[in-house]
Amino acid sequence: MQSLAPLFDTHLHLDPDDHPPPLFAAAREAGVGLFLVAGGTLATAEQARRLAQQEPGVYAASGLHPHEASTLGGDIELFRALLHQPGVVAVGEIGLDYHYDHSPREVQRQVFGKFLEMAVAEARPAIIHCREAFPDCVAMLREFQATGLRFELHSFTGSPAEAETFLAMGAFLAFNGIATFPKGENVREVLRNVPLDRLLVETDAPWLAPVPYRGRRNQPAYLPDIVRCVAALRGLSFEETARLTTENGRRFFGITPRGEPDAAAAKR
């Protein structure tokens, strides 16, 4: 098989009882060699930090998911401390979720603002979750435009107009298995027009397994199926799509090679 640069899964989650080594081994065999494990609570951010120090090619983010915003208490400095650990390269996953409202919206906004301030102060990119909260999310991000904040919209499912608004603010947009779903045409419409230098790919494992794995627990080894979908939508080869999305991920997170394993070429 032809050797490829490793694919970059720019967003996945692990449960506290997951056993990561086989998960990463399977992904590397599939051609995925770089991983960003996002934090959603202090415990999962700490788990991500440990993995970033133990597993080659694994990086971590420290943040509080909007579902958990009401649990923050006085822990924000503990999240900040994780940013000073090796391999922790971003703030996230943070943002607003008005679909489930697991935390009161005002609390979500307050906590989101605190983490955006942290991202600016620590010069780290932010991984943004925005669900049914576009007006408030945009308004808050605009308050930080003059600060040089770098941010991405993770698992982007917004409209073309919303995509244009975020892109005009300098955002990267990340796409996952939703792009392969029969009902994902709105996502595919955006994907066809995103500037290639702002495009990221992710699995959001363990959720949103792409076709043909719907109904299964998602895993990073399924990323090549998402890359194939992106390549087809953009009229690019798999190899070119792999190269540009990995380069974009490295650039967004400020990652340079530090001994990642050679990943096997993905099956195409």
Domains and CATH numbers, the chain: 7-253 (3.20.20.140)
Statement: residue 82 has pLDDT above 90: yes
pLDDT tens digits, 90-124: 999 999 999 999 999 999 999 999 999 999 999 99
More confident call, 207 vs 267:
207
Average pLDDT, rounded, for the chain: 94
pLDDT exceeds cutoff 60 at 263 = no
pLDDT confidence band for 261 (50 / 70 / 90): very low
Contacts 24+ apart (CB under 8 A), 48-54: 48/14, 48/88, 49/82, 49/85, 49/87, 49/88, 51/14, 51/20, 52/85, 52/86, 52/87, 52/88, 53/85, 53/86, 53/87
What band does 191 get if pLDDT is binned at 50, 70 and 90? Answer: very high
Q: Of the candidates 203, 231, 152, 184, which has an alpha carbon nearest to the alpha carbon of residue 30? A: 203
User: In whole angstroms, how far apart are CA 250 and each of 5, 121, 215, 218?
Assistant: 12, 21, 31, 23
**Averaged over 54-58, what is the pLDDT?**
95
Does position 174 have pLDDT exceeding 90, yes or no? yes
pLDDT computed for residue 5 by the predictor = 74
CB-based burial label for 68 (10 Å; 0-12, 13-18, 19+) = middle
Q: What is the pLDDT of residue 15?
A: 79
Average pLDDT over residues 199-212: 98
